[in-house]
Amino acid sequence: MRISRRTANISGGSQFGREITAVLSDASRLIVGWQEWVALPELGLPALKAKIDTGAKTSALHTHYIEAYGTPKHPRVRFSVRPSPDVGGLEVSATSDVVDRREVVSSNGVRELRYVILTPLSIGGRQWPIEITLTNREHMTYRMLIGRQAIRSDMLIDCATSFRQPKLSYQLYAGF
C-alpha cells in the first residue's frame, strides 16, 4: 500500500502557525480520471458521463428544458435532462429547490444567468452534496461538468486516464 503525505500550515490563533501532516493511504483517496461515470440519485439520474474540469469553478448539468415555479421565498425549478447524446428519446424530468441564481461565464466567454441547485453527487460508491448550475449543453460532448467546488479534498484526479471508477451504464434507464 502506498502512503501519501500532505502538509498544511494551520493557524493556531497566535502569531505562530502549526504544521500538521495528514497521512492518506491510496485506499482512502477517491482517484478519478478526467472523465468519469457519475450519478445524481435524487434527480433520478443513475448514470451520466461527466468531465472533471478543474478549469471550471462550478459544476454544470445539461438541461434542455427549465421552468421556474414556487414562491420568491421558496423558489423551485423543474427541468428535463437527456443523459446520453447517443440514446435518442431518453429524457428524465426532475424538480429541485433553487439555492441561488448566478451569472456564469462559459468557456467561450458568454455570460449566462443560471439556476443553482444542491443535490448529492455519487462517484465510485461515495456520495456528497454539490451545487450544480443548470444550462443547455446540447452541443457539448459531456452532459455534466464537475467543477472545482465539487472536488473533495480526498480526491485525486489522474488526468492521464479516464473512468478510474466502476462503469455505470445507460441500461440503468431501462423502463424510463
CA angle 4–5–8, rounded 5-degree value:
145
Q: What is the pLDDT of residue 78?
A: 97
CA angle 82–169–150, rounded 5-degree value:
70
Of 57, 2, 58, the residue nearest 31 (C-alpha) = 2
pTM beyond 0.85: the answer is no
Spatial separation of the C-alpha atoms in residues 48 and 170, rounded to whole Å: 8
pLDDT band with cut points at 50, 70 and 90 for residue 95: very high
Mean pLDDT, rounded, for 92-110:
91
**Residue 22 bridge partners (DSSP):** 6
Assess whether pLDDT exceeds 70 at residue 75.
yes
Give 157 or 42, the one with higher predicted confidence. Answer: 42
Assess whether pLDDT exceeds 70 at residue 81.
yes
Mean pLDDT, rounded, for 115-122:
97
Half-sphere exposure of 35 (CA within 13 A, CB side): 11
Q: Which domain holds residue 108?
A: 30-173
Assess whether pLDDT exceeds 50 at residue 3.
no
Number of domains in the chain: 1
Q: Is 92 within a domain?
A: yes
Q: Is 40 within a domain?
A: yes
pLDDT digits (tens, 9 = 90+) for 50-74: 999 998 999 999 998 999 999 999 9
- Collapsing DSSP to helix, strand or coil, 171 comes out as helix
Q: Is 157 within a domain?
A: yes
Spatial separation of the C-alpha atoms in residues 142 and 70, rounded to whole Å: 30
39: CATH: 2.40.70.10
Q: Is 51 within a domain?
A: yes
Q: Is 19 within a domain?
A: no
The grid coordinates listed for 14 are 497566535
